[in-house]
Amino acid sequence: MSSDESKPTPEVELIDAVRAARAEGEIERADHEALLALALGDDVAEFDDDERERAESLRDALEGQGDHPLAELAEALRCAVGGRVIDELSHERVVQVAFRRATMQDAKVTRGAWRLGIVMGGVAAAAAATLFVFQPSAPPLSARRTTTVFIASHSTVSLFDAQKALPRFGGESSRIDRIAAVRDKQWRANRFASWGVR
Partner 1 sequence: MEWAVVGDGGVGPAGPLGLSARRVAAMVWGTVERSQQTTSDADHTKGGDPETDLQREERQLCAAAQGGDRQALGTILRRHGPKLYRFVLLPRLGSEAAAQDALADTYVRVVERFSTFEWRGCGVYPWLRVVATRIALDHLRKRKRELLFEPEDLERALDAAERDSQEGIDEALCHARDRKDARSKLDGALAEINERYARAIRLRILEDKSREEAARVLEVSVPTFDVVLHRALRALKKKLGGAPPESEGES
* Binds partner 1 by CB under 8 A, chosen from 12, 16, 18, 51: 51
* Binds partner 1 by CB under 8 A, chosen from 23, 81, 89, 141: 81
**CA atoms of 41 and 35, how far apart (whole Å):** 9
Residues 6+ apart with CB under 8 A from 182: 159
At residue 29, φ and ψ (nearest 5 deg) are -60, -45
Q: Which stretch binds partner 1 (CB under 8 A): 44-52, 130-138, 156-164, 175-183?
A: 44-52
**CA atoms of 22 and 10, how far apart (whole Å):** 19
Q: Does 161 bind partner 1 (CB under 8 A)?
A: no
Residues 6+ apart with CB under 8 A from 58: 68, 70, 71
At residue 151, φ and ψ (nearest 5 deg) are -80, 120
List the interface residues with partner 1, window 96-125 (CB under 8 A): 97-99, 101-102, 105
* Binds partner 1 by CB under 8 A, chosen from 12, 16, 17, 31: 31
Q: Which of residues 24 and 49 has its CB atom nearest to partner 1 in the complex?
A: 49
Give the DSSP H/E element, type plus range, for residue 186: helix 172-194
For residue 28, what is the DSSP state?
A: P
Q: Which stretch binds partner 1 (CB under 8 A): 84-92, 117-125, 148-156, 180-188?
A: 84-92
Q: Which of residues 98 and 152 has its CB atom nearest to partner 1 in the complex?
A: 98
**CA atoms of 168 and 151, how far apart (whole Å):** 31
Binding site for partner 1 (CB under 8 A): 1, 6, 28, 30-31, 33-34, 37-38, 41-43, 45, 47, 50-52, 54-59, 62, 69-70, 72-86, 90-92, 94-95, 97-99, 101-102, 105, 165, 168-169
